[in-house]
Amino acid sequence: MNCYSFETLISNYLDNSISHSMKIEAEKHLDQCPNCQVKLNDMKQILHSLHSLPKLKTSANFNEKLMEKIEHHKSKKKFIFKQFMYKYSQPLSTAVAVIILLFGVYYIYNSIFPNMPNQKISTSEIQKNMLNPTQLSQPTKKKINNLQKKPQYVNIQNDDSDSSKMNKDHKSNFKNKIKMVNKEK
């Protein structure tokens, strides 16, 4: 055993928490090394001083003082809440009233004018919504109904496939009309 390895187990040696074989090795090293002997003695002295440091006890009125602190904390909390309410109760109640009023106006407006004039709905949105009709808003439902009744006259943004179909219908109608005029002639 060298000085470094003795140093690493000096506390365990003092606490008597090393194996018997290690203890014998440590003692062998101590017999040959006066430096480590000094170190060990110093350490013993320090430990003795640490153990003999005064053990403190809390003062007799510790619990009473603590209870006072707790009561003070409770009353301070109440006071802060009261002060907050006193200071901000008026603006807070006004803000809440304004919010409620705004929601009320919005709700009434929506129930009177359910169909917003500038609301544009794409066919893809309608198709998507048709899969889950329970989630439809009132104006969307109305537009879908209109579309089912007269699909060709609804002003919607059509997909490419829909527009080509409508163009074909329109062309065939136009050809038929030309034929009819020619026959009349």
Partner 1 sequence: MNSNKKYTDEELIFQFQKGNERAYLELVNRFKDRLLNFVFGYVHSKETAEDIVQDTFLKLYTSADMYKEIAKFSTWIFTIAANLAKTELRKRKRRKIFSITDMGFDDKDYEIPSESNAPEKNITSKHQIKYILKAIHQLEEPFKTVLILRDIQELSYEEVSNIVDVSIGTVKSRINRGRLKLQKILKNLNK
> Which residues bind to partner 1, rule: CB under 8 A?
7-12, 17, 39, 42-43, 46-47, 49-59, 62-63, 65-66, 69-70, 73
**In the bound complex, what is the minimum distance in angstroms from residue 2's beta carbon to partner 1?**
16
Helix %, strand %, coil % of the chain (to 5): 80, 0, 20
**In the bound complex, what is the minimum distance in angstroms from residue 82's beta carbon to partner 1?**
18
Please give the Cα distance from 153 to 147 (Å, whole number): 8
For the chain, counts of helices (H) and of strands (E): 8, 0
Tokens of 93: 């109640």
**In the bound complex, what is the minimum distance in angstroms from residue 57's beta carbon to partner 1?**
6
**In the bound complex, what is the minimum distance in angstroms from residue 68's beta carbon to partner 1?**
9
> What is the identity of the amino acid at 61?
N
Quick one: 46 or 80, whose CB is closer to partner 1? 46
Residue 158 CB contacts under 8 Å (≥ 6 apart), including other chains: 123, 166
Place of tokens 């480590």: 36
Quick one: 52 or 173, whose CB is closer to partner 1? 52
Q: Say if residues 26 and 13 touch (Cβ distance below 8 Å).
A: yes
**In the bound complex, what is the minimum distance in angstroms from residue 77's beta carbon to partner 1?**
9
